[in-house]
A and B are shown apart, each in its own frame.
Chain A
Amino acid sequence: MIDQRKKHNFKLYNIIIFIVFVAFITALDLKFLGDDYVRRVLSLAAIYTIVSVSMNLVNGFTGLFSLGQAGFMAVGAYTVAIFTVPLEKRAAIFYVVDQNPVLAQIHLPFVVALILGGLLSALIAILIGIPVLRLRSDYLAIATLGFSEIIRIILTNAKSITNGALGIKGIPEMPTMWVFFGVMILSVTLIVLLINSSYGRAFKAIREDEIAAEAMGINLFKHKVMSFAIGAFFAGIGGGLLASLLGTVDPKQFYFTMTYNFLLIIVLGGMGSISGTVIASFIVTIGLEVLRFFDEPLTLLGFNIPLFRAGFRMVIFSALLMILVLFFRNGLLGQKELSWDMITSWFNKKTLRRKEKGGAL
């Protein structure tokens, strides 16, 4: 009886939180609240969430150690860049090598280009996945890392399509933050539904033990390719959104080091936890901005503290990461999901412990 009422309450809480969240974003979006700075940081965090969750699907839930995320993002970002830049601006951008005459005539609406970018990335993932997914652990990591570099080098050299090293600018801006948050909510929901489906259970079985999974009748290869391609699809979508947020793309942006940002987020949030990844994406993106405080000169009691200067922020950031990794081996949430039970038990344990202490006295 009590349990059921509790559950009912939690449902209500969830709805309230969701409404508050929607109201908060809408207020920001309509400029009742905050400024462009807050809007931009949150939009960036939303995009990072999409990519990180997609990476977690592959790395955390299917147990494939893939480092190709930057490559898939590049495909999505370039698709949006190539097809959405207004036709009249193109001649000025492609000033060294003319744009391919066929592509120069094609202009697509943003949504179409975004989905096309995602599909293209998924297609490439399938083609790459067929040979590469036969590898395991470190070998897979190296192969996918190499693949992401190959994509970057192709982008650098296909000058008539991508403008090579000079990059493309003038990608139209999005009128509202809801583009980023809407896609974020949609893609996280889709991935959660996928993980809770029979396919998701198969992914997790593969992660835990491949041989056992195969014995259970799971087609290893099919499921691996599927997870890899779906992950790539959402990474491509994330890349496309990033391109439209920044307004420009160039190949240097998609160095393999970019993948590490997302690896950091999923390790921090917990490999195999969607809610952990979402929280970590926001913590990392917002945290980096908060830490800017350390980059500014600080004068305390007339003393100018010499440590506080540009670049110090990254030192603090690294130190914080080290602390986190030392104390939270499995990330913030491990393989669990954030739930009301977790939160209440968290507080209960605390009060319980305090009571115990009190009792001892």
Chain B
Amino acid sequence: MNIMSPVSSANEVDDLMEAGARELYCGVLSRGWSADYTNIAAPNRREWTVSNLKDLMELKNVIALAHSWKGKVNLVLNALYTRKQYPKLCEFLKEVRPMNPDAVIVADPGLMLLIRQMRWDIPIHASTGCTVFNVRAARFFHQMGATRVIFPRQNTVSEMVDLAGKIDFMEKEAFIFNSGCRNIDGFCTFHHGVNEVLKKDSWKLLKKLGLDFRFLTMLRRLPRSTAIKLTRAVDCMPDSACLLNYKVEFDKGGDDPDTKALKSWLESGFNFFFGLDTCGSCALYKLYHAGIDAVKIVGRENPTDKKLRDIRYIAGMLKYLEEKKPGEEEFKSVCRKEYGRVFGYPCGCWCYYPEVLEGEKL
């Protein structure tokens, strides 16, 4: 099972590979593209400048460095493209092709068709944006030219195990760490990158310094109820629309105790705190034994030290799994202990796949 790590700079590659990544994924947001479309309509779904390589030269360097470690580089092109973007997209693909990336991650069936029309035999990974929740959908994308399916975050582990057993015609990849979006990525049509357009350089600097990540880490050390109260009280205007501090109002009624309690629950679900990084390491046991080929760590925009800690933690757990061959309960227990040791706080309830922790009792 490979660890798929985010990369946002050629300077990170050696460290990421040394830490245990076997595959890297990256996007490119060039000046030429952003002149027409800005960051908000980036050619991939991480619409922040800091998440992306700055140009094709940097991509070339990333590929060369990763290949020198016998690693792979998967180029993310998982936006949804409209008519007028296609000429630019074609031009981009023609420039990228001689650089020999190892795969492209694609969500738009139109782009899959285009790549195959170009007779470019590069492996295509069906992005989480393809929303593959059933075998038939996997077969559809396989017929469109995809060689790997990246399961949506919102498949349960038991569903992925079931799908992995049936999908013997493609590689399979699952999310394992960070950014446990509540909405289904491929069906979510909110925009990211709005704050970068509105606040420009100050926002870029905030992201570059990883201040949002560091604020979330601070929150994580607080009791959950305190952290929620704090993020509701301080409207820090996160970029993601799903994390805004919405005021919740019922269309009808709302005065009875049950409705008030539900309102309070719903409001607690809309705040910056929900952007906390989720962990799915307890699920590695089932995913590994189900034959999942790769696990993805999210967070191209994260600071390098965070990326390295995430890879080392997951690589350590995989090594334990492969070498010690523990039972599942033992593995889950070791995961939780190790998580606390590495990150300095308990994993708490921020699970990618909470049903694994709860033994399917949800």
A, B assembled together: no
Interface residues of A (CB under 8 A from B): none
